[in-house]
Amino acid sequence: MEPLQIPPVNLILLAPLLTVVGWASALLLVDVFLIPEGKKKLTGYLAIAGLLVAGLVGLPLWNVSGSTFSGMLVLDRYSLSLTWIFVIVGALSIAMALDYLPRHGIEQGEFYPLIMFAVAGMILLAQGTDLIVLFLGIEALSITLYILTGFAYPRLTSEEAAMKYLVLGAFAAGFFVYGIALVYGATGTTSLAGIAEFLGRQTLVAEDQTLLLAGAGMVLIAFSFKTALVPFHMWTPDVYEGSPTPVAAFMSVGTKGAALAALLRVLAFAFEGVQAYWLPVLAALAAITMVVGNLGALGQTNVKRMLAYSSIGHAGYILLGIMVASERGAEAFLFYLLAYALTNLGAFGVVIALEQQGESVWSIEDFAGLYQRRPMLAVAMALFMFSLAGVPPTAGFMAKFFIFTAAYEGGLGWLALVGVITSAIAAYFYLRVVVKMFMQEPAREVQPELNRGLNADIIIAGVATLLIGLVPTPFIFLAQQSLVALGG
């Protein structure tokens, strides 16, 4: 037997990923052997530190780009910006969880490394350029989330949520693998660049490409499941409601963002040649997602479910940016993702503050009269709600503005119109919360609990939301710069 020739591997290109995975693995051991029971918060702080270090490690790589592991992984500015967004999301989610877990009696040190592993899966989704790697990234993320969803284990809603998520997630994974197999059968490769090359060579006749189109369709279905696009969104409200709130917050922005980022790469790179086929499908998906998500939120009295439907609606908006696979669209996508992530994390932070110990009712009534009791909290929540609704001086407005313009310029004017109309509808239920907080008397006594982690979380999210809304230029510049290497 001749020895194996292992292809050269450039580990520098995956420095942030390696940092997160390595730190998380070490943290698992440190948590078990060094950190005493009852001081698990320390693990949380260490996890945040690890994520920040991973973000810092990425800084010197801004001007580096390249691919490694036989072209299965790339590092470019697009993936690096996404990495930073994911790191921030992970760190803020952990900050929220620091006091939430002990308050609900479900504190276990493994929670924090698991979040880090999920972040690693998300980074993988941002960097992967091979369908197999993307699949594994999705699995790494999903398996972690199945566990985290069921983390409040003896609580029945949490178990139900974990079960639902697991079964549907496994179903989606099946579609993904089947799709990959069909695509491989048609093109003989799983690498995105290889597929693009194959499609470039071929003069496309639809009849010959049944295999490829069926495969691409199944991959699309899997992504739709993960990003909760209508009609694959049924699980979202139940899962968000049942899972521990920090996990729901993490999922609402993290999973969605990572899967959409990967979808952008798949569609814009690999399947650019068959755009004529997927564009109408995706447009229809986006339209019904926006409509159903926002209409569904109208009737909710449970804030967590409302935020779940709202996240469905927002996935529809983000999809607009993906469809216009132009530079403008990808820019708008990144910008929207950042704005939405920060705003939503902030909103979930307020929900956590209001959550009573062991209580699983997040009625909108609990927000009534919040202004009288905790004015700052109410103002922060109002800010987040305005941002989600897309009211001018906030990040949400700028993000929506960008994405609709991009869609309009990309020739999807009707979709932009649908977006504007649904945004107007959405304003109703976002502003309802604000009205409750400022105009009504408290229906019953709710003692909000604030602490350092949550405080920091809400403050950071609030300031960022305002900052992005007021001075969007640097962020837009950043998003523009991110796409230099992507090449539109």
259 close to 320: Cβ distance less than 8 angstroms: no
Verify binding: residue 110, another protein, rule CB under 8 A: yes
CA angle 172, 176, 178 (to 5 degrees): 115
Q: How far is CA 98 from the centre of its chain?
A: 21
User: How near is the Cβ of 269 to another protein at its closest, in Å?
Assistant: 18
Helix (H), strand (E) at residue 295:
helix 275-298
Enumerate the H helices of 34-76 as residue ranges: 41-58
Query: Rounded CA gap, 389 and 397, in Å?
Result: 8
Q: Which is nearer to another protein, 14 or 483 (CB)?
A: 14
How far CA 186 is from CA of 191, 202, 277, 330, 441, in Å, comes to 13, 12, 16, 28, 64
Verify binding: residue 7, another protein, rule CB under 8 A: yes
3-state secondary structure of 423: helix
Query: Rounded CA gap, 45 and 91, in Å?
Result: 9
> Which residue in 114, 126, 180, 341 binds another protein (CB under 8 A)?
114
Q: How many helices (H) and strands (E) does the chain have?
A: 20, 2
Please list every residue from 89 through 108 that binds another protein, using CB under 8 A.
106, 108
> Which residue in 13, 27, 28, 461 binds another protein (CB under 8 A)?
28
Q: How many CA within 13 A on the CB side of residue 150? A: 14
User: How near is the Cβ of 466 to another protein at its closest, in Å?
Assistant: 37
Please list every residue from 267 through 286 that binds another protein, using CB under 8 A.
none
Q: Which is nearer to another protein, 199 or 307 (CB)?
A: 199
Verify binding: residue 113, another protein, rule CB under 8 A: yes
Q: How many CA within 13 A on the CB side of residue 467? A: 11
User: How near is the Cβ of 154 to another protein at its closest, in Å?
Assistant: 5
85 close to 333: Cβ distance less than 8 angstroms: no
Rounded to the nearest 10 degrees, the angle between the axes of helix 256-265 and helix 210-227 is 160
Verify binding: residue 303, another protein, rule CB under 8 A: no
Q: Which is nearer to another protein, 9 or 376 (CB)?
A: 9
Binding mask 182-221 for another protein (x = CB under 8 A): x-xxxxxx--------x--------xx-xxxxxx-x----
Verify binding: residue 9, another protein, rule CB under 8 A: yes
User: How near is the Cβ of 206 to another protein at its closest, in Å?
Assistant: 10
> Which residue in 61, 124, 286, 468 binds another protein (CB under 8 A)?
124
Q: How many residues make contact with another protein (CB under 8 A)?
A: 55
Q: How many CB atoms lie within 10 A of CB 456?
A: 17
CA angle 177, 20, 47 (to 5 degrees): 125
Q: Which is nearer to another protein, 144 or 422 (CB)?
A: 144
Verify binding: residue 359, another protein, rule CB under 8 A: no
Helix (H), strand (E) at residue 66:
strand 66-68
Verify binding: residue 167, another protein, rule CB under 8 A: no
Verify binding: residue 409, another protein, rule CB under 8 A: no
Q: Which is nearer to another protein, 185 or 474 (CB)?
A: 185
User: How near is the Cβ of 110 to another protein at its closest, in Å?
Assistant: 5
Verify binding: residue 6, another protein, rule CB under 8 A: yes
Binding mask 36-75 for another protein (x = CB under 8 A): ---------------------------------xx-xx--
Q: How many CB atoms lie within 10 A of CB 364?
A: 18
285 close to 223: Cβ distance less than 8 angstroms: no
431 close to 306: Cβ distance less than 8 angstroms: no
3-state secondary structure of 67: strand
- Please identify, among the stretches 112-120, 227-235, 258-266, 428-436, the one whose residues bind another protein according to the rule CB under 8 A: 112-120
For residue 101, the one-letter residue type is L
Verify binding: residue 445, another protein, rule CB under 8 A: no
Which residues lie near another protein (CB under 8 A)? 1, 4-7, 9, 21, 25, 28, 69-70, 72-73, 106, 108, 110, 113-114, 117, 120, 124, 130, 132-133, 136-137, 139-140, 143-144, 146-147, 150-151, 153-154, 156, 178, 182, 184-189, 198, 207-208, 210-215, 217
